[in-house]
Structure 1
Amino acid sequence: METKSLIIDIATKLFQQKGYKGVGLNEIIKSCNISKGSLYHHFPNGKEELLITCIQSLNDRITSDIEEIFNRYPSTKEATTAMISKLVFNFETERTISEYTFSSIISGLASLSDPVRNVCAKLYQTIEDIYFHKLVADGYREDTAYSIVLMMTAATRGWGHALFNPKYK
């Protein structure tokens, strides 16, 4: 595995387990079995740049998975049921759904920097757009669809999304 990908994968897992504040660069370096210079070669701006890259990587995985499920099923209800079933299956077999969450990474960060806030907002917006467009295609009015999106996001990702999306404030 390429060093940069290894750093992203391991840092993502550590951030999910311990949160951003709970993981130091030395722990990431040790877990990756790399030098400090190697980490800074790939992430010259340090831990926050690594965090943003980890969240972007999660964004790609989470949204492509949700899109695949929502495109496979004809209705929002069926797609949501399939998505929840997949989460339950993952939890029962792996005892975690961490690969589908990023809120554990940023919880406890009272003041996120603008770059981190922006990447989180983008992830939430992408997920919410998938839900919204499926609901509208199912025949829901836009205002009703927005309300349902809020509940779907809260149920599957936690209430933290409201911090990033002014549409729902």
Structure 2
Amino acid sequence: MQDERDRLVACIPRLRRYARALIGDRTGADDLVQDTMERGWKKLSSWQRGSDMRAWLFGIMHNLHIDQVRRPSLATEELDDETPMPATHHSLTDGLEMRDLESALRTLPPEQREILLLIALEEMSYDEVAATLGLPLGTVMSRLSRARQKLRAQMEGRSVVSLLKVVK
């Protein structure tokens, strides 16, 4: 039991990183991680020993996030300008590029953004993402390809042209 608890706790930094990238709001991300850890702890007996606990927790987080997106949320207030922020040592262009990237990520459909973040940020394999999200491998690969294409076009300032045709 102690070993399982240690594994659960060891996953927190990666869960927080993914949640922050997925949601974009530190408070909301921390709430999502807390909910994920709570559910993971309660359902620890359903985790199969020898399997990847990280993928199992990401699956829980994914399902919780989908539930939260579907559920109406309460309005929250942003911190004001007087709130002290940590000093950064980045150049102005670094900050602008990060802002542009974050903005471009927000424009991606959620199903593409989730896959892109799991692969690029969390360094999960295609198979791990497919198992985590309960999707076929081909769906993961096609969504990732479309997400990368859209993100690249937006970062280069080009419009995204859809090659899909509407059939009636």
Pair in the same fold by TM > 0.5: no
Alignment TM-score, normalising by the size of structure 1: 0.31
When you count helix as a share of all residues, which structure comes out higher? Answer: 1
Question: Greater CA radius of gyration, 1 or 2?
Answer: 2
**RCO higher in 1 or 2 (8 Å CA, sep ≥ 6)?**
1
Alignment TM-score, normalising by the size of structure 2: 0.31
